[in-house]
Amino acid sequence: MATNIGPYQPGDIIGDRTGVVTSYVTFGDDGALVYTTATDIDVILWDFPGFGGTPRAIWDESEDSFAFSHGLFINADIKIALGSITSASGTINFGTNNLTTGGTVTADDYVLAVTDSDSGQIVQNSARIFHTFVPSTATPTHQNVFIGANSGNFTMDNTAGSPFRGTGNVGLGSTTLQSLTTGYYNFACGTNALTTLTTGHSNVAIGHQAGDSAASSNNCVFIGRAAGGGHTNGAFNICIGRGALSDLTTGDNNVGVGSFALADCGIDIDRCIAIGDFAGRDEDTDDRLIIDNRDRGSAAATRTNAILYGIMAAAPEDQILNVNAKLTTAGGRIVNTTRIDSGGSPYTLLVTDHHLFCDTDDDAIIVLYPAGVAGTEYRVVNTGSSANNVTLTPNGAELLLGVNSNFTLLDGEALLTVYEATEGWY
């Protein structure tokens, strides 16, 4: 039957200096110690220093656990101590899982001071699963967080430049950011995300193997399994969806949204936008806009079958947008108009000139056709009233109304022509 043997006063000693006893000791509801004959309890821990006062914990070897009654502290000589220690260092061993620390311990805080690979980390099954290592010369410090088996490393440095190099990184998941050297301001979440990144900065990777080949990439977003998986040192790329832009290695300023969007685009394309699953999967040319929702099998098929396929350029007249569908507009269609007078003659028609108004009141005007592109349409009007003509001249050997010669518009006359490769302008 249990026997009450407490409470004890400060200075009372129970057991020998190491706290080894051969009896079962626990706490009663009133805070007193209760003693029961047994042989499965090994350690009682007291207030420090002096090994006196009320015991703070009992180690039950049969249960592999402590019964705590106060704050937990660590001491280099006594492996575990409980009570009023304000600063200490040492090791806590829980079965096969070890917590190693060289930090400051108080009743309310447990701070890991990380300075090398032997301190300030939580290790599970021989793999570190938490640490906050930053290079020793970094300022400000303590700006890295690594959670997951072997996330981050203890070799980052900032000797190559500014003190923030090697800081501001967050790795969540096994092997995330484990190759970092001077890289900074990176966020990786997911097994193997940004696992080979070394000097890159300002990247976001979310998903298994997202951006896992990126070494020196910067300002990139990888979201989805293996998104941007082949990326090495490109910049300002956005890859959202499984395998999006997965073959890109060095290209810049691309956007792929959708599973496998621009996935087989080649090693180096720039300024492309693809939206939709498999959109532009095989595209290999810069400055393309593609909206689609299926794998077309080739770049050529994408250009003729994707619902929208465009060529982007700095100048509007050099841009092309192909709508591979029937187009219905509820509000009508407005096209561009251009007006010139004799001061602009001779004038070469532009791709943006749908309706050209020619004021010939001051003098005659010559209008030159560009090289024909099938389906191009122009309407030219002579708006003058002074008997000055507009002369239309075809390009090279191309035909205008069936002949390779000029055509004249008198005052008030207009001509609408459409180009066809064999027939020319009609």
- Radius of gyration, CA atoms only, the chain: 39
- As beta bridge partners, residue 425 has 400, 419
More confident residue, 126 or 346: 346
At residue 176, φ and ψ (nearest 5 deg) are -60, 135
Q: In the β-sheet with 424-425, what is the strand arrangement from edge to edge?
A: 337-341, 355-359, 377-382, 414-420, 424-425
The residue ranking higher by pLDDT, 128 or 110, is 128
Q: Determine contact, residues 411/386, Cβ cutoff 8 Å.
A: yes
Q: How many residues does the chain have?
A: 426
**Would you state the structure tokens that stand for residue 404, as one six-digit string?**
């390779």
State the average pLDDT for the chain.
79
pLDDT in tens, 300-331: 999 999 999 999 999 988 899 999 999 898 88
- pTM higher than 0.85: no
Tens of pLDDT, residue by residue over 112-163, are: 555 555 567 888 888 889 998 888 777 665 579 999 999 999 988 877 667 7
Output the six-digit token pair for 118. Answer: 């032997």
| Furthest CA-CA distance within the chain | 128
Q: What is the pLDDT of residue 53?
A: 44
pLDDT tens digits along 167-216: 999 999 999 999 999 999 999 999 999 999 999 999 999 999 999 999 99
Per-residue exposure over 138-153, b if at least 16 CB sit within 10 Å of its own CB, e if not: beeeebbbbbbbebbb
Pick left, alpha or beta for residue 25 (phi over 0 → left; psi -120 to 50 → alpha; otherwise beta).
beta
Residue 47, pLDDT > 70, answer no
DSSP class of residue 300? H
> CB–CB of 63/42 below 8 Å?
no
301 against 84, higher pLDDT: 301
Beta bridge partners of 94: 97
- Please report the pLDDT score of residue 203 as a whole number: 97
Question: How far is 104 from 100, CA to CA, in rounded Å?
Answer: 12
Structural domains of the chain ordered from first start = 3-101 (no CATH), 337-425 (2.60.120)
Residues 130 and 147: beta-carbon distance below 8 Å: yes
298, 282 Cβ separation under 8 angstroms: yes
**Which of 237, 168, 222 shows the shortest CA–CA distance to 192?**
222
Neighbours of 311 (CB within 10 A): 15
46 pLDDT more than 70: no
- The answer, yes or no, to whether residue 92 has pLDDT greater than 50, is no
Rounded to 5 degrees, what angle do the CA atoms 420, 400, 419 make?
20
